[in-house]
Amino acid sequence: MITFLKSDDASKPKTIASSPAQPDPKAGRVTSNIRHGELFVHLKGHPEQRLRLRWEPKGDRERELPAGTYAVTGYRHVAAGQDGAQWIWSTTAPVYRELTVKAGETVNLDVRQKITVNARAFTKKGKQRVALVFQAERRLGNTLYRNGKRIDIQWQCLDKKGALLSEGGMRYG
Which of the two residues, 75 and 1, has the higher pLDDT score?
75
Which pLDDT score is estimated for 7? Answer: 53
CA atoms within 13 A on the CB side of 47: 5
Which pLDDT score is estimated for 126? Answer: 80
Residue 121's CB is within 10 A of a number of other CB atoms, namely: 14
Long-range Cβ contact pairs of 123-131 (< 8 A, separation 24 or more)? 128/157, 128/165, 128/166, 130/155, 130/157, 130/166, 130/168
Q: At 168, phi and psi to the nearest 5?
A: 180, -170
Which pLDDT score is estimated for 4? Answer: 38
Alpha carbon distance 50, 14 (integer Å) = 7
Which pLDDT score is estimated for 152? Answer: 84
Alpha carbon distance 71, 40 (integer Å) = 8
In order of their start, the domains of the chain are 9-109 (2.60.40), 116-170 (no CATH)
User: What's the predicted TM-score (pTM) here?
Assistant: 0.78
Which pLDDT score is estimated for 173? Answer: 59
Which of the two residues, 154 and 56, has the higher pLDDT score?
56
Cross-strand bridge partners of residue 97: 72
36: pLDDT strictly greater than 60: yes
Alpha carbon distance 52, 33 (integer Å) = 15
The arithmetic mean of pLDDT across residues 93-108, rounded, is 93
Calculate the average pLDDT of the chain: 85
Instruction: Assess contact for 153 and 168: CB atoms under 8 A.
Output: no
Local structure of 54: helix, strand or coil: strand
Instruction: Assess contact for 99 and 105: CB atoms under 8 A.
Output: no
Cβ within 8 Å of residue 27, ≥6 positions away: 64, 65, 66, 67, 101, 103
